[in-house]
Amino acid sequence: MHAAETMEDLEQADRAPAAVEMREITRSFAGRRALAGVSLAVRPGEIHALLGPNGAGKTTLLRVLGGLIEPDSGSVRVLGTDATQNTRAQRRAVGLVPSGDRSFYLRISGLENLRFFARLHGLGAGAAKQRALDVLAAVELEHVAGVPVGEYSHGMQKRLSVARALLTDSRILLVDEATHDLDPHAARVVRELVQRLARDGAAVLWATQRIDEIRGLAENVTVLRAGEVAYSGSVVRLGGRVRVQRHVLRLQHRRTLEAPPLATVRALLGSLGSVEPAQDDPELVVLTLADAATLGAALATLIAEEIDILSCREVQSEIEEAFVQLTGA
């Protein structure tokens, strides 16, 4: 999401040069293609989602951007400079939240870990300690600052990873599956922290395989399938690519206040679609629209016959549908 609040800010953000720009990146490992002609751009203040199933090439792409892997071909520019140079200035600007737990020294405390990495980012001893304490508070870990990281839960270690990225106000943040196995609260904390960084102008590349995560978080998305770009554009447009045909409904007859018989609903809908009982709840029915029918027409038909719609949701969101269609996952 853009940090911009006004139209003027939005226009400025749109004009801003990309903080990260990849063109036609290819990379293979022992003959196995991991990335094939991938291009993408992320502007300052933007959260760009990188969506794809396992093995699609998301982590490889982040590692290329982080200077940990050299691409076989193509160009990568970070803040306008060639990223394959892997200069100190580039490393200073890029923060990585890795997907695994194994990126800290488990025998020493969270505070000591952060102090160490802050020193490596060039902060003096005193400033490093203060900064470490500040970011620990920002990720709500100040109460375990002195506890060895080996005793942290998985979620706490993930928050510590985010804290490390916060140490230096990274202008580019690479986030790899940051919340995939966190509880809802911890996941929200991580998302909010990253959104705050983006509001402050950081360009964020957020790799995930969880479709629900990108809605409301990212503005643009690149969908990867077997190392290739299957889709690149706005999240809204991704959802608009597909037509959701299956919906779960909870129905109630206005007079009897009971769920109407399935046969009645089928007869009323006729050629608009078919209904089946939902597997997990007998009170629910799954409506599958016919190709030419619309959800509005189907629901209006039921309401006209005194059948109220108590709830209606998509079986899969339009983004999920698009993801499945694009990646075959």
Partner 1 sequence: MTALLHAAPRGVLFLRAELGKLGAFLRRDFLIAWSYRLAFVSEWAGLALQAVTFYFVGKMIDPSVLPAYGGSPATYMEFVAIGIAMTAFVQLALSRVGHGLRGEQVQGTLESLLMTPTSPTTIQLGTVFYDVLYIPLRTAVFLVLVGLAFGLDFHTDGFVPALVVLFAFIPFVWGLGVANAGFLLTFRRGGGAAALLFTMLALFSGAFFPLDLLPGWLQGAAELNPIAIAIEGMREPLLGGTGWEGVGSDLLVLLPLSIVSLAAGLLVFRAALRRERRRGSLGLY
Question: Does 69 help bind partner 1 (rule: CB under 8 A)?
Answer: yes
Read out DSSP for 257-272? Answer: -SPPPHHHHHHHHGGG
Nearest distance from C-beta of residue 188 to partner 1, angstroms: 25
Q: If binding means CB under 8 A, how many residues of this protein chain bind partner 1?
A: 40
**Residue 73 found at the interface with partner 1 (CB under 8 A):** no
- Give the binding range for partner 1 (CB under 8 A) out of 97-105, 191-199, 237-245, 250-258: 97-105
∠ CA 195-197-200 to the nearest 5 degrees? 110
**Nearest approach, Cβ of 277 to partner 1 (angstroms)?**
49
The closest alpha carbon to 208, from 311, 93, 114, 319, belongs to 319
Nearer to partner 1, 148 or 201 (CB): 148
The Cα–Cα gap between 280 and 116 comes to 51
- The pattern of x and - marking residues 157 through 196 that bind partner 1 according to CB under 8 A reads -------x--------------------------------
CB of 87 to partner 1, least distance (A): 8
Nearest to 160 by CA among 141, 146, 143, 184: 141
Q: 303 to each of 126, 162, 172, 251, 313, how far by Cα in Å?
A: 68, 49, 51, 10, 17
Contact call for residue 91 and partner 1 (CB under 8 A): yes
The DSSP symbol for 181 reads T
Q: What one-character DSSP code corresponds to residue 17?
A: P
Containing H/E element for 129? helix 125-138
Closer to partner 1 at the Cβ: 104 or 323?
104
Q: Which among 59-67, 186-194, 252-260, 287-295 is the span making contact with partner 1, rule CB under 8 A?
A: 59-67
- In order of 22, 116, 175, the CA distances from 133 in angstroms are 35, 12, 22
Q: Give the shortest CB-129-to-partner 1 separation in angstroms.
A: 11
68 in contact with partner 1 (CB under 8 A): yes
Please give the single-letter amino acid code of residue 53: P
Least distance from partner 1 to the Cβ atom of residue 107, Å: 4
The answer to the question of residue 119 lying near partner 1 (CB under 8 A) is yes
Verify binding: residue 60, partner 1, rule CB under 8 A: yes
Report residue 186 as tokens. Answer: 């911890």
Residue 129 engages partner 1 in binding (rule: CB under 8 A):
no
Q: Which of residues 141-160 bind partner 1 (CB under 8 A)?
A: 148
20 binds partner 1 (CB under 8 A): no
d(CA 42, CA 60): 17
Are 149 and 110 in contact by the 8 Å Cβ rule? The answer is yes
Looking only at residues 244 through 303 of this chain, which bind partner 1 when binding is defined by CB under 8 A? none
State in angstroms the smallest separation of the CB of 181 from partner 1: 17
| CA 259 – CA 308 distance, rounded (Å) | 9
Interacting residue with partner 1 among 44, 45, 66, 273 (CB under 8 A): 66
Residue type, 179: T
Q: Could you say which of 63, 77, 159, 225 contacts partner 1 (CB under 8 A)?
A: 63
Q: Is 53 in the site for partner 1 (CB under 8 A)?
A: no
Helix (H) or strand (E) holding 199: helix 184-199
The two three-digit tokens of residue 102, written as one number: 């194994």
Binding site for partner 1 (CB under 8 A): 27, 29, 60, 63, 66-70, 86, 88-89, 91-92, 94-96, 98, 100-108, 112, 115-117, 119-122, 124-125, 128, 148, 164
